[in-house]
A and B are shown apart, each in its own frame.
Chain A
Amino acid sequence: MTATRSSLTALALALATTVAIGCGGSSDGDQASAGKQGGSITIAQGSQPDSLDPALAYTSNSWEPLWLVYTPPLTYRRAEGAEGAELIPGAATALPNVSADGRTYSFKIRKGLKYSDGSPVAADDFEHAVKRVLNLESGGTYLFEGIEGATQYIEAGDAEGDIGGITADDRTGEVTIELTAADGGFSNVLATTFAGLVPADTPFENMTKDPPPGVGPYAIVKSVPNREFVMEKVPGFDIPDIPKGNVDTITTEIVKSASRQAQDVIAGDLDYMQDAPPNDLAAEIKARHSDRYKEWPTLSVNYFFLNQALPPFDDKQVREAVNVAIDSTAIARILGGRLSGTCSLVPTGIPGHAELDPCPFGDPNGPGDKAKAEQMIKDAGATGEKVTVYANNDPTRPEIGQYYTALLNDIGLDADLKVIDGAVYFSTIGNQKTKAQTGLASWYADFPHPSTFLQQVDGTTIQPTNNGNYGNVDDPQINKEIAALLPEPDLQAVANRWSALDERVVEESYIAPYGSEELTTFLSDRMDFENCSTVHPLYGNDYSSFCLK
């Protein structure tokens, strides 16, 4: 998913035996240890989550809280690092049974499961949750379109219609899903908040102002959009391997300024901030409050998109020149040091990451070669070409935009910068009419799979509006291979074919990556930082681990 504001979740994709990602934190990787019970805390986010309705929510702002409110049939282990990427049963009794041809998934809903308002969970509720995602035209629709009858349901336009491919037996609690084609990653879809169970009478509308009850350690009891929302611990919640939470009440306030958030956490008026503290205060925090602050790497990629549908980036040499020139250490300073250089699209630690040593464009953590890049631009005959750089106005983004603009000017292009408000940024650069040549972008995995990254350069995803393939990359070789690899059930077996794709992206300079951002955890004095702060690789700071001293 794309980052909203500067708060992002980390997604450590290391399945089973692959390399464990070094994560910060003193926790030994086990699930959040039960700490002191009770109390209430106030936390802050920099902007209103896109939605508090599980069918619609699709950003890290919203997933961080909603993960604890709506448990899907499957979920991820509540642990740090590699362990956190392991799929475990959530509302289901066990991981699904998958048929030999990979097209049928079946699982059983746990008996006696109840929603936060006490009403019982029925097997039918799963289909209702999926119907809401489809009917409300959610951004997560594409994840469920592979289910038999899903496209017919959408076309029929009847909310109460039936999705042929999902059948449920309320007596046994068994749910069976038929897919139109095998999809190796479908289990991950069953673990997204989109699949979070909600009561069958939940209306077909955006329920942000009054979120429906769910199954989870916490429930949202109050929601005032753009101001705050309140989560309370659900007393009867009991699913093995999902922590029940320590704190009783969590109030999330929307505080736009990261500076104020940081100041409030320092002073103790806030207990946690989702955004990273601005450099200004980070220095002070690291010096004087390091006992309640940590930074951790994420599985993400920050890059400059290069629109190949327009000059000058339709020329490979120009694209290469940009990659050669980029100095990620300069950008690292703008990010207060919270950046580690990258060479390719798929981040380290995800199967399918191409380990390119040396990186064809020079050391990703070293300075760029502006002189060489300037020559390359000259050779390509692109000197003096006008370029408009796009950036949004979230913290640090305008400065990165200014760095990039100055860089392009230094290597011989004629660049200027446009800073667009964060709320309309992605739809602006995603609109072909804007003719955005280049600009800032980033991607955090929706789930542990290289496809979520390579989809950014998949030609079949290009759209006239709300385009996610900002570079308009359309490489038949890549398109074909992605289509062939998606149905594969065993990721490990085909990991090297994914890496080959990642390598091709680098060879063709389809994007200009500059690094992977690190995120932060900063808690107030009253919180028990040492024992009660778990960072989940996919969902970020785990609120159910928070506890007071």
Chain B
Amino acid sequence: MTGFVARRLAQMVVVLFAVSVLTFLIFNVIPNGDPASRMAGKSPTESQVEAIRAEWGFDESLPVQYVKTMEQVLGGSAISYFTQLNVREEIVRGLPRTLSLAIGAAILWMTMGIALGLLGALRAGRVSDRLLTFVALAGVSLPVFWLGALMAHYLGFKLGWFPNGGYVPLTEDPLDWAYHLVLPCTALAILFIGFYSRVLRSSVLDTMGEDFVRTAHAKGLSERQVLLRHVLRNSLIPIVTLWGLDFGAVVAGGAILTETVFDLQGVGQYAAESVGQLDVPPVLAVTLFGAFFIVVLNTIVDIAYAALDPRIRVT
């Protein structure tokens, strides 16, 4: 088991390294103008541009540049090409917002997903099940940026039931914080609710056919007890693992669209804005952070799976 864990951790490091190299290359190899002159601002002289080039190492070879930039990013001293703001500080500032959104949405989609999935499984094959299936599929088909924009406008601006985007920190006013998160979390969750309800439904139906369930029935347990104590617990395994992966993906970048539409100024929005400005340090930092999140959660899931199912450890 430890061998497996060790292998997975090593793999994690390799993957993160590859991600950092790739991100760096995307911005530096593909011709996109001269970052030094972009940073130099209005009407600088050639010597000014040269000075910037030397300071950031643009005139050095790519590997040296890479090392220099990575040193800054990992050391927490990387600053944006434009705003001169410290990247780490910006990420730290945006993180609670992204996490608030992700956690809120995750809780919502889990609870609703499980509830609807269970309902569907219990009424499998009947009209209500078909209807739920349809609703679930509709949920998966809604583009979150469109849904979010419409919600923000009609429920927020027009009707005034909810705030029209923006974010209030938890420390400032917990109620307002939650109030501002209702629309964004709902918009983001709708995407996943459909998906999760379907997965749970399949999982429950699969489990219900298993031997141990028949045994439980034979032992005389009521339908309800069987369901709750045995079936649900077992069907939750794939859901929980999926949840881990999706949560990681949302924090890492899946939240970008929702954050942008509702102007939450989280990590995702910060990255999207920086990319638009070809501002490498923030993008590098956020991509690494996101990749790290995804990879860590993936690895945890892998290890959990291996712990549960010995066959997998061989791979």
Contact = CB atoms under 8 A, between A and B. Distances in A.
Nearest to B38: A427
B37 A58 contact: no
A434 B33 contact: yes
A137 B37 CA distance: 13
A20 B280 CA distance: 48
Interface string A59-100: 000000000000000000000000000000000000000000
A465 interface: yes
A421 B263 CA distance: 18
Contacts of B157: 263
A176 to B, nearest CB: 28
B109 to A, nearest CB: 27
Contacts of A256: 263
Contacts, number: 77
Contacts of A50: 41
A393 B276 CA distance: 10
B43 interface: yes
Nearest to B85: A225
Interface in B16-72: 33-34, 37-38, 40-46, 48-49, 51
B276 A208 contact: no
A102 B165 CA distance: 57
A257 interface: yes
A137 B33 contact: no
Given A58-B41, A142-B43, A260-B166, 13 more contacts: A56-B41, A137-B40, A137-B48, A137-B51, A139-B42, A139-B44, A226-B85, A393-B276, A424-B33, A424-B277, A431-B34, A431-B37, A466-B41
Contacts of A255: 263
B83 A137 contact: no
A260 B33 contact: no
B164 interface: yes
Contact of B41 (A48, A139, A225): A139
A465 B40 contact: yes
B38 A424 contact: yes
B34 A433 contact: yes
B84 A421 contact: no
A48 B46 CA distance: 26
Contacts of A48: 83
B103 to A, nearest CB: 23
B35 to A, nearest CB: 9
Contact of B82 (A142, A423, A463): A423
B84 A206 contact: yes
B277 A466 contact: no
B140 interface: no
Contacts of A464: 46
B147 interface: no
A395 to B, nearest CB: 15
29 contacts: A50-B41, A58-B41, A137-B40, A137-B44, A137-B45, A137-B48, A139-B41, A225-B83, A226-B85, A226-B90, A255-B263, A257-B263, A260-B164, A263-B157, A423-B82, A423-B279, A424-B33, A424-B38, A426-B42, A427-B37, A428-B33, A428-B38, A431-B33, A431-B34, A465-B46, A465-B49, A466-B42, A466-B43, A466-B49
B179 to A, nearest CB: 14
A463 to B, nearest CB: 7
A208 B84 contact: yes
B278 interface: yes
A5 B315 CA distance: 54
A208 B41 CA distance: 15
Interface of A: 2, 48, 50, 56, 58, 137, 139, 141-142, 206, 208, 225-226, 255-257, 260, 263, 393, 421, 423-424, 426-428, 431, 433-434, 463-466, 468
B205 to A, nearest CB: 46
Nearest to B276: A421
Contacts of A208: 84
A427 B277 CA distance: 11
A468 B43 contact: yes
A419 B165 CA distance: 26
Contacts of A423: 82, 276-277, 279
Contacts of B276: 393, 421, 423
Nearest to A139: B42
Interface string B76-107: 00000011110000100000000000000000
A56 B40 CA distance: 11
Nearest to B163: A269
A185 B44 CA distance: 22
Contacts of A260: 164-166, 263
Interface in B258-315: 263, 276-279
Nearest to B49: A465
Contacts of B44: 137, 139, 465-466
A466 B34 CA distance: 11
A189 to B, nearest CB: 15
A56 B157 CA distance: 38
B278 A424 contact: yes
Given A263-B164, A431-B33, A465-B49, A58 B42 contact: yes
Contact of A427 (B33, B83, B263, B279): B33
Given A137-B48, A256-B263, A466 B33 contact: no
Nearest to A48: B83
Nearest to B84: A206
Interface string B149-190: 000000001000000111000000000000000000000000
B277 A421 contact: yes
B276 to A, nearest CB: 4
Nearest to A1: B42
Contact of B34 (A56, A141, A263, A465): A465
A263 B41 CA distance: 33
B154 to A, nearest CB: 13
Contacts of B84: 206, 208, 225
A142 to B, nearest CB: 6
Nearest to A421: B276
Contacts of B37: 427, 431, 465-466
Contacts of B51: 137
A426 B37 CA distance: 11
A466 B36 CA distance: 11
A466 B82 contact: no
A56 B42 CA distance: 10
Query: Which 9 A-B residue pairings sit nearest by Cβ, starting from the closest?
Result: A139-B42, A465-B37, A423-B277, A421-B276, A427-B38, A137-B48, A421-B277, A139-B43, A466-B43
Nearest to A138: B41
